[in-house]
A and B are shown apart, each in its own frame.
Chain A
Amino acid sequence: DIQLTQSPSFLSASVGDRVTITCRASQGVTSYLAWYQQKAGKAPKLLISAASTLQSGVPSRFSGSGSGTEFTLTISSLQPDDFATYYCQQLKSYSLTFGGGTKVEIK
């Protein structure tokens, strides 16, 4: 199975900060990588698919990049609504593994 390692697992940031989350795959997944946002008590929400395609309705301050084994999710200017936990997921091969998550909290 492909393992995904997210870093950091926790970060504390202020409104307006630029935030970058990294997701590393144990083997290449080409662009079969998605990013989700999850708030407490809610189902995950898709932010980015195919490593860099922003989903409709997702603010443009979110962006994704990478290919192969290293990927990043960037929030260009953190907003109050962005405090949540973020997960990457590979869809290259079953099992369709998730990263361990990155919790973004208010500094």
Chain B
Amino acid sequence: EVQLVESGGGLVQPGGSLRLSCAASGFTFSNYAMSWVRQAPGKGLEWISGFSGSGDNTFYADSVKGRFTISRDNSKNTLYLQMNNLRAEDTAMYYCATKSRYYFDCWGQGTLVTVSS
């Protein structure tokens, strides 16, 4: 069964850092482009970061560029998102997803990040 499980969310103060993890199973992780998508409470979906299909390139939304870093460890079948200098507007549910050419087909259940003093 294809599965993605996010972890690492929690409550953090403004200016703080968190590292999210996304553990993959049931498929050949290294073959897939991966992305992070977030959803603020009561708001829509926002793509924030991703790896290209080759894994050579990384991409970021302007809202997180310079503060967030995506990485992956194919030996551990795990995707990461290092989040620094967090702001109140980063409060959201964070999802990881597998990317195929025309769609995101598998999503995790999400991990909640709350940025508040």
Contact = CB atoms under 8 A, between A and B. Distances in A.
A98 B109 contact: no
Nearest to A42: B109
Nearest to A99: B44
Given A43-B95, A91-B99, A95-B59, A101 B108 contact: no
Nearest to B96: A43
A50 B104 CA distance: 11
Interface string A89-106: 101001111111100000
Interface residues of B, number: 23
B101 A91 contact: yes
A98 B45 contact: yes
Given A87-B45, A94-B59, A50 B108 contact: no
B65 to A, nearest CB: 10
A49 B103 CA distance: 6
B88 interface: no
A31 interface: yes
Contacts of A97: 47
Given A43-B107, A43-B110, A101 B44 contact: yes
Interface in A30-53: 31-32, 34, 36, 38, 43-46, 49-50, 53
